């Protein structure tokens, strides 16, 4: 495991906080935040993040392997890169979060809650991202790597924040190259890290769900090799060079409705063991809260991230409809 990840997981700051790697200079900016800047002039900037949820270890291990490859000189870095381990304290304890879910707090939502670990971290990450994007190459990408709690009919998929203009083909095609079998397009703003970078900095952002969460060292990393390989290719070559003969392959969905835990009487009528992308037919009761009932509105809707145990006011699940691939 590379030193940046090791020190972050141990809660330590390295003795040396800046230096030179093969073809780039690096700087440790904050706990869990390091910037790599190529010596040659580049036009592309990338935020590569993992560990926003502290129990999602495989993406941290992928990140560590990619950093190892960069430091060995195996990748000729052609992006300005900000590497972010989202929630170091949660990673250190192997918990999803300490006080509340970090990935609901971005876009200033942290300011409306009781101060705590995650609120402070969201504020800090917003500052760090703002500094990076104020002073970086013009093409902006953000890849935020996660693993899911439950099983999924599409084991690897991406969730893309709301965006007013079309998603460039190069971005969607790279996500497919990284092994994502489905792409889910949000229609309204939200509090995730990727929503923040997309909404405030017009970054091409994706929350990448790469499989099931396991403890450190228990991940079958061969499952993740497609993504790791695609990241190495991206960092060393840039998106334009990756497009040759790439055919659209991902199934595409948009969010049709959100299930929100509105009050104490809220009941989610989706069984606990329901896997992501399970279809439901029109009229099926999904959730109720006293008199308010939420049912499937379209012919078929697919469930994503059902979770009755969220705090009041937060998302208990998303319902999706399938849409044509934008470049299909
Ligand atoms: Zn996650």
Strand order in the sheet with 292-295: 266-268, 285-289, 292-295
pLDDT digits (tens, 9 = 90+) for 235-288: 998 766 666 556 788 999 999 999 999 888 899 999 888 999 999 999 999 999
Which residue, chain included where needed, has tokens 């790599």? 36
- Distance from Cα 317 to the centre of ligand 1, integer Å: 14
Report the C-alpha dihedral over residues 113, 114, 120, 124, rounded to 10 degrees.
30
List binding-site positions.
53, 56, 146
- Give the three-state DSSP class for 148: strand
Report the C-alpha dihedral over residues 272, 273, 274, 275, rounded to 10 degrees.
130
The arithmetic mean of pLDDT across residues 298-325, rounded, is 92
CATH fold of 3-242 reads Aminopeptidase (3.40.630)
Please choose, from the candidates 82, 195, 192, 87, the residue with its C-alpha nearest in 3D space to the C-alpha of residue 129: 82
What is the rounded distance in angstroms from the CA atom of residue 31 to the CA atom of residue 28?
8
Contacts (Cβ under 8 Å, ≥6 apart) of 129: 47, 82, 196, 197, 201
What is the rounded distance in angstroms from the CA atom of residue 9 to the CA atom of residue 24?
24
Q: What residues flank ion ligand 1 with Cβ within 5 A?
A: 53, 56, 146
Q: Regarding predicted confidence, which is higher, 221 or 207?
A: 207
281 and 272 Cβ atoms separated by less than 8 Å: no
What is the rounded distance in angstroms from the CA atom of residue 246 to the CA atom of residue 255?
26
Could you give the C-alpha distances from 180 to 184, 230, 300, in angstroms and in order?
Answer: 11, 11, 22
- Distance from Cα 146 to the centre of ligand 1, integer Å: 4
Could you give the C-alpha distances from 299 to 41, 284, 290, in angstroms and in order?
Answer: 51, 10, 25
Provide the residue ranges of all domains of the chain, joining segments of one domain with +: 3-242, 257-323
pLDDT digits (tens, 9 = 90+) for 293-310: 999 999 999 999 998 888
pLDDT at 190 over 90: yes
Q: Which two tokens stand for residue 19?
A: 């230096």
| Residue 29, pLDDT score | 96
The arithmetic mean of pLDDT across residues 115-131, rounded, is 96
Q: Which of 61, 176, 209, 301 is catalytic?
A: 209
| Residue 326, pLDDT score | 92
Q: If you classify domain 257-323 with CATH, what class do you get?
A: mainly beta
- Distance from Cα 58 to the centre of ligand 1, integer Å: 11
233 is catalytic: no
Confidence of residue 91 (pLDDT cuts 50, 70, 90): very high
- Give the three-state DSSP class for 168: coil
Q: What is the mean pLDDT of the chain?
A: 92
What is the rounded distance in angstroms from the CA atom of residue 258 to the CA atom of residue 307?
12
pLDDT digits (tens, 9 = 90+) for 130-179: 999 998 778 999 999 999 878 999 999 999 999 999 999 989 999 999 99
User: Which residue blocks in the chain are alpha helix, DSSP H?
Assistant: 3-10, 58-72, 88-93, 117-134, 169-177, 193-201, 225-237
- Distance from Cα 93 to the centre of ligand 1, integer Å: 15
Please choose, from the candidates 251, 260, 265, 266, the residue with its C-alpha nearest in 3D space to the C-alpha of residue 300: 251
């Amino acid at each position: 495991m590379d030193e940046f990840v090791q020190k972050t997981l141990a809660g330590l700051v390295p003795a040396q906080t800046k230096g030179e790697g093969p073809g780039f200079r690096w700087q440790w900016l904050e706990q869990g935040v390091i910037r790599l800047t190529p010596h040659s002039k580049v036009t592309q900037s990338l935020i590569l993040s993992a560990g926003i949820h502290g129990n999602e270890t495989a993406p941290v291990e992928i990140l560590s392997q990619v950093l190892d490859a960069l430091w060995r000189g195996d990748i000729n870095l052609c992006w300005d890169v900000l590497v972010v381990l989202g929630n170091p304290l949660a990673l250190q304890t192997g918990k999803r979060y300490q006080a509340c879910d970090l990935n609901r707090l971005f876009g200033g939502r942290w300011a409306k809650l009781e101060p705590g670990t995650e609120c402070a971290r969201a504020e800090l990450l917003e500052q760090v991202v703002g500094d990076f994007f104020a002073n970086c190459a013009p093409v902006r990408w953000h890849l935020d790597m996660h693993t899911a709690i439950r099983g999924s009919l599409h084991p690897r998929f991406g969730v893309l924040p709301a965006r007013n203009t079309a998603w460039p083909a190069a971005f969607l095609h790279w996500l497919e190259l990284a092994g994502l079998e489905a792409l889910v397009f949000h229609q309204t703003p939200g509090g995730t890290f990727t929503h923040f970078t997309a909404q405030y900095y017009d970054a091409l952002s994706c929350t990448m769900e790469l499989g099931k969460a396991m403890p450190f060292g228990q991940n079958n990393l061969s499952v993740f090799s497609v993504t790791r390989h695609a990241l190495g290719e991206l960092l060393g070559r840039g998106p334009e060079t990756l497009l040759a003969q790439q055919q659209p392959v991902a199934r595409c969905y948009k969010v049709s409705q959100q299930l929100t835990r509105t009050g104490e009487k809220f009941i989610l009528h989706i069984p606990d063991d329901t896997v992501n992308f399970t279809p439901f037919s029109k009229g099926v009761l999904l959730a109720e809260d006293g008199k308010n009932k939420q049912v499937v509105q379209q012919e078929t809707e697919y469930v994503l991230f059902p979770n009755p145990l969220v705090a009041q006011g937060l998302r208990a699940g998303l319902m999706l409809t399938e849409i044509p691939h934008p470049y299909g």
